[in-house]
Amino acid sequence: YFSAQEGFLFFYHIKGLQYEMKICADILQPISSIIFSPDYTVLLLVTDQGTVYTYKPAHSGEAVKLLDACSGCFLAADFLTPGDKYCVSVAISGEVQVWFLEDGTCLSKLNLDIEVHV
């Protein structure tokens, strides 16, 4: 899987010297990071604007908006292991949050009281 500044999520199937490229999703925002769940069933897509999407490769559907940066841009997100039911995010404001991936419910948050930078 690969992303480009245009907001496309690409899949490259490589076999020997041959490859096939497929556009999996278009989220209309530049993607800053892609993170696979520990069991490789879900991808988290974090945009430059701080929105987090989920994409399930086996279902070949659209990327689903999970979190929107309403209180400040999310800098990063990752799965909370073990499993793939929860993710953790950190915002520029220093707020760390735990989310339930199924419906985007915020389960817990902690403010670090410091601005976060990459």
* Model confidence pLDDT, tens digit, residues 43-60: 888 887 778 888 888 877
Residue 28 scores a pLDDT above 70: yes
State whether residue 106 is helix, strand or coil: strand
* Model confidence pLDDT, tens digit, residues 94-105: 889 898 888 888
Q: Which amino acid is located at 91 in the chain? A: A
Q: What is the largest CA-CA distance in the chain?
A: 51
What pLDDT is stored for residue 118 in this prediction? 67
Residue 88 scores a pLDDT above 70: yes
- Among the CATH numbers 2.30.30.40, 3.40.50.880, 2.120.10.30, 3.30.70.260, which is that of 2-111? 2.120.10.30
Q: For residue 18, what pLDDT band results from cuts at 50, 70 and 90?
A: very high
Q: Which amino acid is located at 4 in the chain? A: A
Whether 87 contacts 76, CB under 8 Å: no
Residue 38: is the preceding peptide bond cis (ω within 30°)? no
- Give pTM, 2 decimals: 0.72
